[in-house]
Chains A and B, each alone.
Chain A
Amino acid sequence: MGDFPDIQSNLGEYVSNFVDFLDSALAGLFDFIFFISSRTINGIEGFLDFLPWWLFLILIFLLGWYFKSVWSGVLYAFFIFLVGTFGLWSEMMMTISIVLSAVIICLVIGIPLGVWMAFSKGFSTVMRPILDAMQTMPSFVYLIPAIFFFGLGNVSAIFATLIYALPPVIRLTELAIRGVDPEVVESAQSFGSSRWQMLTKVQLPQALPTIMAGVNQTTMMALAMVVIASMVGAQGLGEQVLISINRIDIALGFEAGISIVFLAIIIDRVTGGVADRFQKHRRAK
Chain B
Amino acid sequence: MAESKVKIDQVSKIFGPKPKSVIAQVRDGKSKADILEETGHTVGVYNASMEIQEGEIFVIMGLSGSGKSTLIRCFNLLNKPTDGAIYVDGENIVDYNSSQLKKFRQEKIAMVFQHFGLFDHRTVLENIEYGLEIKNIPKEKRRQTAQENLEVVGLKGYEDKYPDELSGGMQQRVGLARALANDPDILLMDEPFSALDPLIRREMQLELLDIQERLKKTIVFITHDVNEAFKLGDRVAVMKDGKVVQVGSPEAILENPANDYISDFIKDIDRSKILQAENVMIKPNALVSLKDGLKVAIKEMEENGISSVFVVDRSRHLKGIVTIDEAITGIKEKKSLEDVLSTDVTTVSREEYVSDLIPKALESKYPLAVVNQDNKLEGFILRVHVLSGLVAEDVNESKEYHGYTN
Contacts and interface: CB of A to CB of B under 8 A. Distances in A.
Interface of A: 181, 183-184, 186-194, 197, 201-202, 205-206, 208, 281-285
Given A183-B115, A183-B117, A281-B120, A193 B164 contact: no
B110 A186 contact: no
A187 B102 contact: no
A191 B131 contact: yes
B103 A186 contact: no
Given A183-B113, A201-B134, A192 B105 contact: yes
Given A187-B111, A191-B105, A206 B164 contact: no
Given A184-B117, A281-B120, A284-B164, A194 B133 contact: no
Interface in B91-107: 101-107
Instruction: Give the secondary structure class of A's interface.
Output: helix
Nearest to A280: B162
Contacts of A191: 105-106, 110, 130-131, 134, 182
Given A190-B105, A192-B103, A192-B106, A282 B120 contact: yes
Interface of B: 73, 76, 78, 101-107, 109-111, 113-122, 130-131, 133-135, 162, 164, 175, 182, 188
Contacts of B162: 281-282
Contacts of B164: 281-285
Contacts of B188: 190
A157 B78 CA distance: 48
A285 B115 CA distance: 12
A283 B121 CA distance: 11
Nearest to A194: B102
A281 B111 contact: no
Given A191-B105, A191-B110, A284-B164, A186 B117 contact: yes
A190 B110 contact: yes
A193 B132 CA distance: 10
Given A184-B118, A192-B134, A281-B121, 8 more contacts: A181-B117, A186-B73, A186-B117, A187-B175, A190-B109, A190-B188, A201-B134, A285-B164
A190 B119 contact: no
Contacts of B103: 192
B3 to A, nearest CB: 24
Contacts of A282: 120-121, 162, 164
A194 B105 CA distance: 11
Contacts of B117: 181, 183-184, 186-187
8 contacts: A186-B73, A190-B105, A190-B188, A191-B131, A194-B134, A197-B134, A282-B162, A285-B120
Contacts of A285: 120, 164
B73 to A, nearest CB: 8
A183 B114 CA distance: 9
Given A183-B114, A187-B113, A283-B164, A193 B134 contact: yes
A185 to B, nearest CB: 9
Nearest to B166: A284
B168 to A, nearest CB: 11
Contacts of A183: 113-117
A241 to B, nearest CB: 42
A197 B130 CA distance: 10
